[in-house]
Amino acid sequence: MHTFGPKDLERMATNAGAVQVHTASEEFTAAMFGWPVRTFEATVPPGRLGWNWAKFAFGGWKALSWVDANVWRHVAPKGWFYNVMVTGSTLLSSVSSGLAFSTDDVRYLRSESGAVALAAVADFGLTDATRVADVAAARARFGDRAPVLVETTLLRRRAAAKLEQLCPDFQASNWLFTDEALQQATAAPVARHRARRLAAASLPLVHDATCSIGTELAALRGWGVRALGSDIDPVRLAMARNNLGSTAELCRADALRPVTRDAVVVVDPGRRRGGRRRLRPDDYQPGLAQLLDSYRDRYLVVKCSPE
């Protein structure tokens, strides 16, 4: 029923430079119903069929579309459906694409072969003028690993300016990021200022309960503060391990389930979803009210959006 089947479209999008390509189909029985209905309607003068026919035609299509989405979609091949939609992200940009990393990606990027590949891709310009050729060259040399290599290279270039002098030994060229984590990361001057104030309080332990990729921990450690980091996201936690080294105290934990008792808690809740800011504190992940309830009677530092 398609000029191009779902697999053909996925392959074409991938060859054109897209990553994380997916296809979704719709209208199977709804299409079988819709075609004869529309064929019949084309033979009748406009306005003759009336309102009851319109309700029958639309209602039938709507009911069968529900059956397709909730029943047939789970058992029938995508190629049987009438419509197919293709989505993906592009690497053909001089800015990062918001690629989703996996723990396997992080293991590869931390490996010796990953480090060699990152060094090679770092030599590419990846500018508007060269990005098509650069991405093609990366794909030809590194295959399916090219997307995470290009994305990491672009993120490191952005981080170099935002996180410059975060801590004495900070080098963006050694760090791993996700696009969302880098967007939300506190700029280096602010992170250093907060770390300096916490260091002045001579605290025995600071617990960053949403440590993400480790930027706040790096600033705290730079001021000599003993800091523990935890995060519920295994990918970001693996990146933090890479960024902070083997001596960093890290664990996987839900920010709403405290794992320390006497530490001052620092929290930077998620304030973005799909590239968009969440402005209401209750929409944070986790929400501000939940955090305040979980750490009642504790010293708590929370980063919030400006009103």
**Number of domains making up the chain:** 3
Identify whether residues 107 and 216 lie together within a single domain. no
Identify whether residues 99 and 84 lie together within a single domain. no
Identify whether residues 198 and 261 lie together within a single domain. yes
Identify whether residues 66 and 125 lie together within a single domain. no
Least confident range of 5-19, 193-207, 253-267, 279-293 = 5-19
Identify whether residues 115 and 230 lie together within a single domain. no
In a domain, 133, yes or no: yes
The model carries a pTM of 0.71
Identify whether residues 134 and 43 lie together within a single domain. no
Tens-digit pLDDT profile for residues 169-227: 899 999 999 999 999 899 999 999 999 999 999 999 999 999 999 999 999 999 999 99
Identify whether residues 189 and 277 lie together within a single domain. yes
Last residue of a domain, one of 136, 162, 188: 162
In a domain, 174, yes or no: no
Q: What is the mean pLDDT of residues 151-170?
A: 93
Identify whether residues 26 and 112 lie together within a single domain. no
In a domain, 170, yes or no: no
Q: What is the mean pLDDT of residues 152-172?
A: 93
Q: Is 240:211 a contact under the CB 8 Å cutoff?
A: yes
Tens-digit pLDDT profile for residues 67-122: 988 998 888 888 888 888 887 766 655 555 578 899 999 999 999 999 999 999 99
Residue 25 domain boundaries: 6-89
Give the pLDDT confidence score for residue 16 in this predicted structure: 62
Pairing mode, if any, of strands 18-26 and 83-90? Answer: antiparallel
